[in-house]
């Protein structure tokens, strides 16, 4: 009998954990007014590692054509992007019920 390693199955342990985190995450997308009255969209509650969070931020900024950054495990995006971020997260595999837009 031949045993299969996780690399043979196509999904590694990290991939499985990431998928579970997506299903169990409670993500909050809210609008905050920053300096000089500029609206900023904050995405909080993503249970991702530092590199994954940075990668998601880069993809989100390209898809939404906006500027942004990662600070204190939160994604900050320029402008009011709440509904567009919600659609992006749903397309990325997050459950609609686990995304709160405020």
- Domain tally for the chain? 1
pLDDT of residue 11: 55
User: Average of pLDDT values for 63-81?
Assistant: 96
Flag whether 45 is in a domain: yes
Higher pLDDT pick, 93 / 28 = 28
Look up the domain containing 75 and give its range.
26-101
Per the model's pLDDT, the better-predicted residue between 47 and 38 turns out to be 38
Mean pLDDT of 42-63: 93
* CATH code: domain of residue 34: 3.30.780.10
pLDDT at 39 over 80: yes
Question: Which pairing describes strands 74-78 and 68-71: parallel, antiparallel, or unpaired?
Answer: antiparallel
Does 85 fall in a domain?
yes
HSE-up of residue 18 (Cα within 13 Å, Cβ side)? 14
Does 18 fall in a domain?
Answer: no
């Amino acid at each position: 009998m031949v045993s299969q390693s996780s690399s043979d199955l196509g999904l590694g342990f990290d991939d499985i954990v990431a998928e579970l985190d997506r299903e169990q995450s409670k993500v909050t997308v809210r609008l905050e007014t920053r300096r000089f009255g500029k609206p900023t969209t904050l995405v909080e509650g993503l249970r991702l590692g530092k590199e994954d969070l940075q990668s998601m931020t880069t993809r989100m900024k390209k898809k939404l054509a906006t500027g942004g950054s990662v600070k204190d495990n939160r994604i900050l995006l320029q402008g009011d992007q709440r509904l567009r971020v919600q659609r992006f997260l749903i397309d990325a595999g997050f459950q609609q019920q686990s995304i709160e837009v405020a």
